[in-house]
Structure 1
Amino acid sequence: MIQTLPLALPGTLVNLHRIDTALHAKCWDVQAHDVVAAPNGDVYALYRVHRYMYGVADEHDPAVANFGYRIITRYSADGEVLASALCCPEGADETASAVVDGSDMTLCVLPNGTLTISTRPNNTTLVTPDLSRVIATYDSKERRPSKEFTPGDAFATSIGVTPSGRLLCTIAEYGVWNYGSAITNLVGVADGALTATSKPVIHALASLDPEPARHSERDVRAHVTYQGAPVGLANRPRPALTELAAGEDRLSGWRDSRLGRPVPLADDLFVVPVYARTFRGGSRGRPFVFALVNDQGEMTGRLHGMHQRSDSPFTGFCFNLAADPHRGYAFHLNRYGLYAWNRAGVLRAKLDTETKTFKPLTHFTLTACSPVGDLLLVHSKQHLILRVPVPDDLTGLAAAVEEALRAYARQRTVLKRQWAPVNWHWTQTSAPVHRL
């Protein structure tokens, strides 16, 4: 079923900060982080709302002062807003929210229905499905180790779920490419359940930088193993993905590359994206690899068919992948098209955004596939989620997306009459709002 869902702002928040006044019309923004769907049909969206005005740093009136929050909204299978939750207020102390804040924030629905919020470096928060409370936090408390450093209880930077319930995770490490901050460097699989009282061991499958700099015993991660021993120092998957791809970029050898969020293509096969270093002056044409990695850590192939320059994901920094592991399909959307592959890595469809029909896709970001294989897209300016059903045969993808884009225009018109948005922000006043 094609759906269009608004990234709703709680009415209490809109009124408190006077978001819809003309004075603030160009000073605030909504930025989507992630959208996922649960097996029961519910949809969860995670996004940030913030306002910044120069010269009001000392202002205490919430109607004028700068602000920022993360918002999680839950929608029913029919598209109704069921609840929202506010967390991680900006400018507050660390105890203002039970959710661990950080970079690259993503969502995942665990097999038991629990919602996870993961951030870099290796922080994971467990939240009840109704968004009413935080169940547990795995807070790495990671900073570069010092004499005063007290390690926290880390888990993962991102999590995905395979059809049988395995957890596909990424883990950040210090010293990657000789940087002093934690950068996502490992991909692994956990076969146990993640609960409030226990976390499974993550078995590392692939690495980005094979030799992170300046590691010591304090950098060893006991909950991540490779060949039966904790990951750290020299114990990590080799050859690294960058070593396998080094011949494709003779100038940099993939130094300063980044690991994207992997997606499961099956229980034992994953797509792991690697992107070469980006430059301020433009990065279109830089190399990238969508590697196929099995659960033994072997790179068995890649997703083929994209041209390094004319299909470059670096334009607009469109780095997301999505996958439907039940049918073995992988998807990627960037400024040049929507791409679809089968499990063998063969490109089965490309919807070219240079055509009039699919040009509207340039305004959307792909976030995920639902458990039934629908694509979840977010409009970057209108702050709407578009749910696109994908046919079993990818030869029908073009017709399905064309119909979804037409339906989006119709459903957006209906929502505008119902919600009366101001500056493309959608205010909801009926659903409960929790503070996490």
Structure 2
Amino acid sequence: MATPDGDTYVVSTVWRPWRGGGDPGDPAHAGLNFRFLTRYAPDGTPVVTAVFGGPRPDGTPSAIIPDGSGDTLAVLPDGTIALAVRPGGTHVFSADLSQVLATWPMPWGFEEEKARKGDPFAASIAVTPSGRLLCTTSEYGLKWAGATPNIVAVSDPVTALAPGSKPILRAIASLHADTDRQTDVDRHPHVVFGGAPVWRDNRPSPALTDLLTALTGTSDSLYGYRDCTMTRPSALGDDLFVVPVFGRTFRSGSRGQEFSFALLDDQGTLRGRLEGLHRHDDSPFTGLDFTVVADSHRGRAYHLNRYGLFAWTADGQLRARMSSAVKPYTALKNFELLECTPVGEILLLHRKQRLLLRVPVPRDLDTLPAAVETALKAYGSGRLALKKRYAPVNWGWLDTSGQVVHL
């Protein structure tokens, strides 16, 4: 996630299970689970890294115990940083990462699920140009165990997400409507529909699964949208959003399975979807690349998977396609899509080398392929310069210039 000033925030995880055969308290054998939230200057220099999740060096507990996976970051209108973690925990950091300003955890696990403990906010957060929060929230009591992201909701730009202030989220879409297992403890007062908490039948209807089934002409079958999931929605503007929805995945492979990048307005009306992708030839199921990012200031959307990079205008029309099957775009297979910055750059992450690549997007999307080609050609020389500067060891890029804060 990037700021308008060019600073970039990146969250990462270092995880290791306990190595059997030794003392679990021995650092050489103990399991660990740390999150690292790093702020980089515009030139890529690390400024500060906040470490949390595992115990502090003196053994005291961390201020935040991560409650799941699938971290998403958002720069809030006041400059603070929101970290949303599935299934629904949210944590707010100061811009300099020195403090945890507020936390709304949603613990997960068997005992927590039974007790419905925690005070959740959102499973993902994006910010519109006027400062509204576009969120997904999770629900218990669906046909799967645990909490599942199921509601798309928006806030008013007036109430900030800050200590002692949790905005009301107005539900605009429900992915699934199978909620017969919900009980009274599954009502969350901050997520409302029609002035009352979202719960059981009090939710946007028809469900998004039904709307997409009708739009695409597919049956509600094993290979349709019956058991679909969604990833983080992105804002194409203040009142238009793109919601990635994917059909069920199979162990034997899911290439050719149904998927849609649905276009929703802020009243929950389905305005269509991002067009132009082939269900098999452009399938995001190869590699499970389900991310769509949007430039809310320019009304553009982008998607990258193993078959290419794609760009759309806000009306859902495909304006650029760069196939990874042909040169000079074959290197796109090595990257995953992270975000679109406020100044219109696409952020790509190399899957193995873990380096960020910024791709400036031109005003005219017809010239985007040339800009991507230039960026990919510059990646090799840029990486070589970084190797000379940081002297990586075992693919670890070492830098001692930034401050480290144990939260």
The TM tier, using the shorter chain, reads over 0.9
Q: Are 1:217 and 2:184 counterparts?
A: yes
Equivalent position SS for 2:70: strand
Q: Tell me which residue corresponds to 1:189.
A: 154
TM-score scaled by length of structure 2: 0.93
**Correspondence for 2:83:** 117
Instruction: Indicate conservation of the 8 Å contact 1:57/1:66, yes or no.
Output: no
Q: State whether structure 2 residue 263 is matched by structure 1 residue 292.
A: yes
Higher strand share: 1
Unmatched tracts of structure 1, length 5 or more: 1-35
Aligned counterpart, 2:126: 160
Match of 2:71 among 105, 126, 133: 105
Distance 1:148 1:105 in 2: 24
Conserved? CA contact 1:144–1:174, under 8 Å: no
Q: Identify the match of residue 58 of structure 1 among 14, 17, 23.
A: 23
* 2:373 is equivalent to residue 386 of structure 1: no
Q: In 1, distance between residues paired with 2:21 and 2:346?
A: 41
Structure 2 residue matching 1:104: 3-state secondary structure: coil
In 1: Cα distance, 2:300 partner to 2:123 partner: 24
Aligned to 1:339: 310
Structure 1 Cα separation of the partners of residues 307 and 383 of structure 2: 24
Distance 1:100 1:295 in 2: 33
Distance 1:133 1:124, change over 3 A: same
Deviations 1:204-229 (A, max 9, x none): 01111112231111111110011111
Shift of 1:327: 0.8
| Alignment check: 8 A CA contact 1:173 1:185 kept | yes
Helix, strand or coil for the counterpart of 2:236? strand
The question of whether the paired residues in 2 share the 8 Å contact of 1:125 and 1:134 is answered with yes
Q: Is 2:402 aligned against 1:416? A: no
Mapped contact 1:100–1:123 kept (Cα < 8 A): no
The reply to whether residue 433 of structure 1 matches residue 404 of structure 2 is yes
Q: What aligned pairs does 1:324-363 form with structure 2 within 5 A after superposition?
A: 324-363=295-334
Inter-CA distance 256–55: structure 2 relative to 1 (3 Å threshold): same
Deviations 1:146-182 (A, max 9, x none): 8983743221111000111110000000122x11210
Between the aligned partners of 1:124 and 1:112, the Cα distance in structure 2 is 16
d(CA) in 2 for partners of 1:343 and 1:206?
A: 19
Which amino acid is the alignment partner of residue 179 of structure 2? P
Q: Which amino acid aligns with 1:245?
A: L
C-alpha distance in structure 1 between counterparts of 2:110 and 2:193, whole Å: 23
Residue 281 (structure 2) pairs with residue 305 (structure 1): no
Match of 1:260 among 231, 235, 241: 231
1:68 counterpart = 2:68: no
Greater Cα shift, 344-353 or 203-212: 203-212
Secondary structure of the structure 2 residue equivalent to 1:210:
coil
1:80 and 2:45 aligned: yes
Contact 1:264 1:325 in 2 (8 A): yes
Match among 184, 194, 198 for residue 165 of structure 2: 198
Q: Which amino acid aligns with 1:77?
A: P
Could you tell me which runs of 5 or more consecutive residues in structure 2 were left unpaired when the two chains were aligned. none
Q: Is the 8 A contact 2:18 2:24 kept in 1?
A: no
Aligned partner of 1:407 among 372, 378, 395: 378
Task: Answer yes or no: is the 8 Å Cα contact 2:2–2:75 preserved in 1.
Answer: yes
Deviations 1:55-87 (A, max 9, x none): 356354324544332111110122221011111
8 Å Cα contact 1:208-1:241 kept in structure 2: yes
Measured after TM superposition, the shift of residue 100 of structure 1 is 4.3
Higher RCO (CA-CA < 8 Å; seq separation 6+): 1
- Partner-residue secondary structure (3-state), 1:407: helix
**Matched-pair identity in %:** 49
Q: Count residues with an aligned counterpart.
A: 399
Give the whole-Å Cα distance in 1 for the aligned partners of 2:286 and 2:169.
33
Aligned partners of 2:23 and 2:29 also within 8 Å: no
Do 2:261 and 2:273's aligned partners in 1 also have CA atoms closer than 8 Å? yes
TM-align CA RMSD: 2.2
> Partners of 1:65 and 1:145 in 2: how far apart?
24
Q: CA deviation at 1:388?
A: 0.9
Report Cα offsets for 1:327-365 as digits up to 9, x if no partner.
110000000000000010000000000012111111111
C-alpha contact (below 8 Å) 2:52/2:65 kept by paired residues: no
Deviation by residue 1:357-408 (Cα, 9 ceiling, x = unmatched): 1111111110110011100111110010111110011011111111111111
Determine the C-alpha separation between the residues in 1 that align with 2:123 and 2:112: 22
Equivalent of 1:170 in 136, 158, 175: 136
Change (3 A) 1:325 1:387: same
